[in-house]
């Protein structure tokens, strides 16, 4: 993967280093859940690129049991070669909850199951396998039990758009909101961490930082789209603001791919702009204009998350 406009190379050397809040969809997976060999290779490659550009790289990954998000984040950190000045070791990759599909349980679990079923059915069809179902409506062929799982992985990854289209429909708005809430909460937590770090190390007169500090959040498919749908703004060349809803439109450029990242560039995490600029990896999105996250909408999602979490804990 070469460096194009929007690539990690834009995490650059600057006179005023910034904080980069990087959000990454885990690399390619096998049908059984864990990363494919290609996914491991791609995550490692991304780490090498970022290592040239940043001096701090901390990763936060979903705690999903297959560890595909954790391994993606840890590989990116490891291959970056970036180490803590305090410990001389790689920054620890931390697992966090609620930026994986478990946030849809128990009340929205059916929507997730339906999306997964649609993906598997389309993949079986493309493989030339039977899509026949039993008397309970379950696919008779178990995709995870087929041979050549490495061959199946990119086909299933391509067909995930079928499930994404289903989840992002208006009737599943609560599922979209729930995923957006989880990611918003994690981002806000990282803003607070970076704010304390800035106060302690970067804001003094003697601070001598030449490169960016990167906090990488590794999540799953549809989480970034959900956040952008609920908080995103696209501003075109005519300066008109519009919401982001059709991710497959020519204007946006398609769903976020496996191992793809978006970047929020912030100079001072203690003073977030009202419109937080979003930078995309690669030069294919958006086709025209710029994308921002509305700070008020983001913080409203954080409040909604806290209310939801409190209600769950009181049950």
Do 230 and 95 lie in one domain? The reply is yes
pLDDT-based confidence at residue 10 (cuts at 50, 70, 90) = low
Tokens 């710029």 belong to residue = 290
Percent of the chain at pLDDT above 90? 77
Do 99 and 199 lie in one domain? The reply is yes
Among candidate residues 34, 28, 31, 33, the one with its CA nearest the CA of residue 143:
31
Average pLDDT over residues 230-257: 90
pLDDT-based confidence at residue 104 (cuts at 50, 70, 90) = very high
Do 16 and 148 lie in one domain? The reply is no
pLDDT beyond 70 at 12: no
The whole-number pLDDT of residue 1 equals 31
Distance, in Å, from the CA atom of 160 to the CA atom of 139, rounded to the nearest integer, reads: 17
Give the sheet arrangement for strand 54-62, strand by strand.
94-96, 54-62, 212-219, 19-25, 261-266, 275-280, 290-294, 232-235, 241-243
Q: Which of 122, 140, 170 is the last residue of a domain?
A: 170
Do 55 and 160 lie in one domain? The reply is no
pLDDT beyond 50 at 170: yes
Mean pLDDT, the chain, integer: 91
Do 160 and 113 lie in one domain? The reply is yes
Average pLDDT over residues 227-236: 95
Count of domains for the chain: 2
pLDDT beyond 80 at 39: yes
265 forms beta bridges with 20
In a domain, 3, yes or no: no
Range of the structural domain that residue 158 is part of = 109-170
In a domain, 90, yes or no: yes
pLDDT beyond 70 at 8: no
Average pLDDT over residues 224-252: 91
Do 152 and 249 lie in one domain? The reply is no
pLDDT beyond 70 at 9: no
pLDDT beyond 80 at 140: yes
Residue 159, both tokens: 């067909």
Percent of the chain at pLDDT above 70? 94
The whole-number pLDDT of residue 11 equals 53
pTM (two decimals): 0.92
The whole-number pLDDT of residue 6 equals 52
In a domain, 2, yes or no: no
294 forms beta bridges with 275
Burial class (CB in 10 A: 0-12, 13-18, 19+), 151: exposed
């Amino acid at each position: 993967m070469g460096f194009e406009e929007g690539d990690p190379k834009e995490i650059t050397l600057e006179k005023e280093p910034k904080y980069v809040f990087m959000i990454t969809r885990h690399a390619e997976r096998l049908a059984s859940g864990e990363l494919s060999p290609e996914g491991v290779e791609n995550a490692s490659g991304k780490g090498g690129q970022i290592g040239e550009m940043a001096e701090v790289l901390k990763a936060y990954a979903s705690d999903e049991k297959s560890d595909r998000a954790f391994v993606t984040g840890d590989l990116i950190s490891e291959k970056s070669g970036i180490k803590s000045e305090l410990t001389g070791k790689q920054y620890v990759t931390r697992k966090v909850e609620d930026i994986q599909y478990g946030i849809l349980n128990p009340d929205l679990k059916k929507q997730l199951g339906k999306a997964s079923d649609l993906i598997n059915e389309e993949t079986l069809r493309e493989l030339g396998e039977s899509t026949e179902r039993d008397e309970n409506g379950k696919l008779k062929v178990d995709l995870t039990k087929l041979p050549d799982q490495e061959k199946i992985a990119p086909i299933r990854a391509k067909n995930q758009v079928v499930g994404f289209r289903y989840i992002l429909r208006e009737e599943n708005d609560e599922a979209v909101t729930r995923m957006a809430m989880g990611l918003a909460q994690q981002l806000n937590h990282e803003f607070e961490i970076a704010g304390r770090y800035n106060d302690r190390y970067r804001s003094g007169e003697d601070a001598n930082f030449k490169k960016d500090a990167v906090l990488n959040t590794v999540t799953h498919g549809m989480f970034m789209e959900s956040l952008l749908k609920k908080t995103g703004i696209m501003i075109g060349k005519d300066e008109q603001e519009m919401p982001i809803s059709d991710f497959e439109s020519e204007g946006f450029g398609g769903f976020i791919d496996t191992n793809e990242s978006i970047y929020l560039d912030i100079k001072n995490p203690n003073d977030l702009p009202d419109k937080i600029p979003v930078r995309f990896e690669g030069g294919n999105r958006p086709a025209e204009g710029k994308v921002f996250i509305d700070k008020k909408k983001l913080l409203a999602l954080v409040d909604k998350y806290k209310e939801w979490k409190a209600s769950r804990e009181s049950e």
